[in-house]
Amino acid sequence: MHKHHSALGLAKAHSTAVRGIDIAKSQPVQPVTLVRPHAASRAARFFVEKFPGRSMYAVKANPSPELLSVLWDSGITHYDVASIAEVRLVARTLPDATLCFMHPVKAEEAIREAYDVHGVRVFSLDSIEELDKIVRATREATDLTLCVRLRVSSEHSKLSLASKFGVAPGEAKELLFRARQVADALGICFHVGSQAMTPQAYADAMERVRQAIVEAAVTVDVVDVGGGFPSRYPGMEPPPLEHYFEVIHRAFESLPISYSAELWAEPGRALCAEYSSIVVRVERRRGDELYINDGAYGALFDAAHIGWRFPVTLLREPDSHARDMAFSFYGPTCDDLDHMTGPFMLPADVRAGDYLEIGMLGAYGSAMRTAFNGFGSDETVIADDEPMTSLYVVAEERVASNVVTL
């Protein structure tokens, strides 16, 4: 894997190749993923040191084995897996990791393999049917940690996760009581939705946990606040993560739970969003529309399908002095749905042949990528510079300019 100091350096190297020097080796027509292991390591250390409990990485956000190893080396020892494929991946990549199967609806065969082959002992559920399935698949094991998922509001989050999973208020009592009878440790978990923009989301959900514990009158050993911890994007400036941790800690301390109860969290986006970006080339300009070589079926799924705005910058030297204007993007496929409305703010003189960096794609960008229409690229380069935006670095500490070497 090549290494660059910056996205600009990568673009300059590719631009040189386009002008007649070794085009085939450079392959500048393909999008290139930039990964920043130091950014993921910094995020992991932040959670390990500051979250008042145990942080386990939500693998679905980015299942890259290289990223999993970076997080492990930075202190993340527990991993939230949502499928048997993720169980196998993490078990193979990190044999000593603790795996928690936190998808509330699982195939019985997946539960059995996870328990028998990979040593999984933590399972999430939100129904009596799932509880019975887990008990059957593990042959009435007595070493299970069972986490009952409550349905909570996603009103404070940019993406709702309030419809598909979670036991309704009137049904939690029986499920908690029955799970308590077969579990070695009983947990309650929830998910406030992706990109929670205020700590109030967790305060409200923890009140729901309190009510469920009081109604069921059971001893709870684990409270898992799930994911939802935010990152920075254009138009989305969340409070410092320490504010979220403080609210969660106060709420946890006030719950009627056992003295030895553990507090867990499942950060995904917050651990990996800053890990990677992509460098794309502009193939055509049509007014305020730019045709680029990645899109809805590549790393920009969220930009196309839910209107997510990512930070963008023009990689040109010398810098453009043109005023910024709003652009939308078209991806490379034949599909009209391959359209990212943005708006993406770029200098008004951007033109075909220019390179752009699109940032904050470590979360879900690579995970959602396909090869539809034959487009896409596996080319990955390590970058030494800072991500385009960060919750973990104050502005005055960021690198002001980017210098590149191969």
Residue 92: Cβ within 10 Å count: 11
Q: Look at residue 29 in the predicted model and tell me its pLDDT.
A: 79
Of the three residues 216, 240, 266, the one that is the final residue of a domain is: 266
| Confidence class for position 6, pLDDT limits 50, 70, 90 | low
Q: Look at residue 16 in the predicted model and tell me its pLDDT.
A: 46
How do residues 204-246 score in pLDDT, each as one tens digit? 999 999 999 999 999 999 999 999 999 999 999 999 999 999 9
* Averaged pLDDT for residues 365-379: 85
Question: Is position 44 within any domain?
Answer: no
Share of the chain above pLDDT 90, in %: 80
68 and 167 in a single domain? The answer is yes
256 and 279 in a single domain? The answer is no
Has residue 400 got a pLDDT over 80?
Answer: no
Its domain, for residue 341, covers 3-36+275-397
322 and 214 in a single domain? The answer is no
DSSP annotation string for 289-332: EEEES--TTTTTHHHHHS-----EEEE-SSPP-SPEEEEEEE-S
Q: Look at residue 366 in the predicted model and tell me its pLDDT.
A: 84
Has residue 327 got a pLDDT over 80?
Answer: yes
**Exposure b/e, 111-142, CB count within 10 A at least 16 = b:** bbbbbeebebbbbbbbbeebbebbbebbeeee
Angle of helix 37-50 relative to helix 241-253, nearest 10 degrees, comes to: 30
Q: Fill in the DSSP letter of residue 122.
A: E
Q: Look at residue 2 in the predicted model and tell me its pLDDT.
A: 61
Instruction: Return the CA Rg of the chain.
Output: 23
What is the amino acid identity at position 110? A
Of the three residues 266, 293, 315, the one that is the final residue of a domain is: 266
138 and 162 in a single domain? The answer is yes
Question: Is position 302 within any domain?
Answer: yes
| Confidence class for position 396, pLDDT limits 50, 70, 90 | very low
How do residues 88-118 score in pLDDT, each as one tens digit? 999 999 999 999 999 999 999 999 999 999 9
Q: Output the domain CATH number for residue 379.
A: 2.40.37.10
| Confidence class for position 339, pLDDT limits 50, 70, 90 | very high
pTM: 0.90
206 and 256 in a single domain? The answer is yes
| Confidence class for position 18, pLDDT limits 50, 70, 90 | very low
Best CA proximity match to 217, nearest among 187, 256, 184, 250: 256
The total domain count for the chain is 2
302 and 388 in a single domain? The answer is yes
For the CA atoms of 232, 234, 237, 240, the dihedral, rounded to the nearest 10 degrees, stands at 20
24 and 113 in a single domain? The answer is no
198 and 57 in a single domain? The answer is yes
Question: Is position 41 within any domain?
Answer: no
Of the three residues 266, 296, 326, the one that is the final residue of a domain is: 266
245 and 111 in a single domain? The answer is yes
